[in-house]
Amino acid sequence: MVTYAATLDVPRHIVEFLARLLAAHRCRIGTPKSSRALGPFRQAVLVLRWFRERGCVQCLARDAGVSQATGYRYLHEGIDVLADQAPNLHDVLKRCQESGMAHLMLDGTLIECDRVAGIRENGNDLWFSQKHKAFGGNVQFPSAPDGTPLWVSEVEPGSTPDITAARIHALPALYKAAAEGLPTLADKGYIGAGIGIHVPVRRPKGQSEQALHEDTRTMNALIRGVRSLGERAAAELKERWRALKRVTLSPSRIGDIARAALVLNTQWK
């Protein structure tokens, strides 16, 4: 066996932030002092290693000197305390309006997962996305004009289109914001979303883009150009917190994991 030193490339204040949340959670549920195999700080390191390195839980537990079952329990506990800190969409929109934002951007992403059992009425796999040709969960990401992710929705199975997931989780609040002067820009996957959600106009089937009126083509170019920055929202979270690239836990936890990553991301400076 060969041992080696490693460094967790996460700012120390983020580890301390999570450790404080875990310590407060232990006090809240009445955990006796010194009854845990790991203290809050070492548990925070285990959780952040999983988020940052997309590590094997068995290996993380071994490195921490705990059993695999304890490692999973500590990981899920860390995900839960972080997800509980995620902002409410209405609160996010209120802050955006108060800060004078001109618009928001809405996009969806597939967070891949292992294949799971689940059949739709038509016989297709519930968690399989025909668009991405992969298993996973669909989450929605409203973002600021500069592409900073602001909020993450609950997960829907990968077979759910973006427009359907947005109608369930995001559009009701976005309609209200649009009526108060904060519109949302989105891509063609949200055509038909409704008033206040601006999307490019689709060209007629079988015809080129030139078939559209010049004003329409200009508007499409403006929407695409402005919202191009919003494409980085999901990418920023996935690249910084690599566990989001492929979740090996239950896919029903994808929403909590994504919200936990959002909370961690807001602490990164």
Q: Choose the weakest-confidence range: 5-19, 102-116, 206-220.
A: 206-220
The arithmetic mean of pLDDT across residues 166-183, rounded, is 95
**pLDDT band at residue 154, thresholds of 50, 70 and 90?**
very high
Task: Note the pLDDT of residue 19.
Answer: 97
Task: Note the pLDDT of residue 123.
Answer: 62
**pLDDT band at residue 120, thresholds of 50, 70 and 90?**
low
Output the CA–CA distances (angstroms, integers) from residue 161 to 78, 107, 246, 249, in the order listed.
30, 11, 19, 22
Scored b (16 or more CB within 10 A) or e, 16-47 reads ebbbebbbebbeeeeeeeeebebebebbbbbb
Task: Note the pLDDT of residue 73.
Answer: 96
Q: Are strands 134-143 and 246-247 parallel, antiparallel or unpaired?
A: unpaired
Output the CA–CA distances (angstroms, integers) from residue 200 to 157, 174, 190, 216, in the order listed.
26, 18, 9, 8
Scored b (16 or more CB within 10 A) or e, 181-199 reads ebebbbbebbeebeebbbb
Q: For 27-51, what is each residue's pLDDT tens digit? A: 999 999 888 999 999 999 999 999 9
**pLDDT band at residue 122, thresholds of 50, 70 and 90?**
low
Output the CA–CA distances (angstroms, integers) from residue 215 to 81, 103, 190, 191, in the order listed.
49, 21, 21, 18
Please, is 93 exposed, middle or buried when counting C-beta atoms within 10 Å of its C-beta (0-12, 13-18, 19+)?
buried
* C-alpha dihedral sign at 20, 22, 25, 31: negative
Q: Choose the weakest-confidence range: 77-91, 92-106, 126-140, 225-239.
A: 225-239
| 56 compared with 232, residue with greater pLDDT | 56
**pLDDT band at residue 121, thresholds of 50, 70 and 90?**
low
Task: Note the pLDDT of residue 142.
Answer: 93
Residue 97's CB: how many other CB atoms inside 10 A? 13
The arithmetic mean of pLDDT across residues 45-62, rounded, is 92
The structure tokens listed for 132 are: 């991405």
Output the CA–CA distances (angstroms, integers) from residue 27 to 24, 31, 91, 130, 170, in the order listed.
5, 6, 28, 46, 34
Q: For 220-262, what is each residue's pLDDT tens digit? A: 888 888 887 777 788 888 999 999 999 999 999 999 999 999 9
Asked if residue 135 has pLDDT above 90, the reply is yes
Asked if residue 203 has pLDDT above 80, the reply is no
- Residue 106: which H helix or E strand, with range? strand 104-113
pTM: predicted TM-score of the whole model, two decimal places: 0.90
In a 3-state reduction of DSSP, which class is residue 109? strand
Q: Are strands 134-143 and 104-113 parallel, antiparallel or unpaired?
A: antiparallel
